[in-house]
Amino acid sequence: MKFMIVGKANEATEAGALPSQELVDAMGAYNESLAKAGVLLAAEGLYPSSHGAQIAYSKDGKATVLDGPFAEAKELIAGFWLIQVKSREEAIAWALRVPVPGGHEGIGLDVWQVFDAADLPDASMSPEAAEREAALRERLLGSAED
């Protein structure tokens, strides 16, 4: 099962404040522990929302691009980890080990199970679509190993 651990933003991360060397080192050690356990698929920090955009759709499907920054820091994402584990409980256990030092009120984590094409019932995908999906995943895995 794949899970995404989503690190929430706060005013400091939205202002572009860089983390302390102590936090960088702690995150590096945490990421290394995920990698050594064989569960880490990806881990990235994100720039503040001022570097981003949101796309909103109207009822008729028309897209509108909204440039950042966005108002509610507590609803924004500062980074994520993508992990593959055996259960929701294991994902939560890993999330609880994320190093967040005191004094970082507003930072929180969400743990979301990732919906994978393999989770679809066999009847919901045509053989052609299943083949395209498998080929795409194979290409992605091949490029990740380069």
Sign of the C-alpha dihedral, residues 29, 26, 82, 111?
positive
Instruction: Identify the sign of the CA torsion 101, 102, 104, 106.
Output: positive
- Confidence (pLDDT) at 135: 81
Question: Which DSSP category does 104 fall into?
Answer: -
User: What pTM, to 2 d.p., does this model score?
Assistant: 0.79
Beta-carbon contacts of residue 65 (< 8 Å; ≥ 6 apart): 53, 54, 55
Q: Tens of pLDDT along the chain (146 residues)?
A: 999 999 988 888 889 988 889 999 999 999 999 999 999 999 999 999 999 999 999 999 999 999 999 887 668 899 999 999 999 999 999 999 999 877 666 568 999 999 877 777 766 677 787 778 778 777 876 766 65
Nearest by Cα to 13 from 78, 88, 66, 58: 78
* Domains (range + CATH), the chain: 2-114 (3.30.70.1060), 117-146 (no CATH)
Instruction: Note the pLDDT of residue 100.
Output: 82
CA distance 138 to 144: 10
What letter does residue 98 receive in the DSSP assignment?
Answer: S
The per-residue pLDDT for 103 is 65
**Nearest of 75, 4, 94, 84 to residue 44 by alpha carbon:** 4
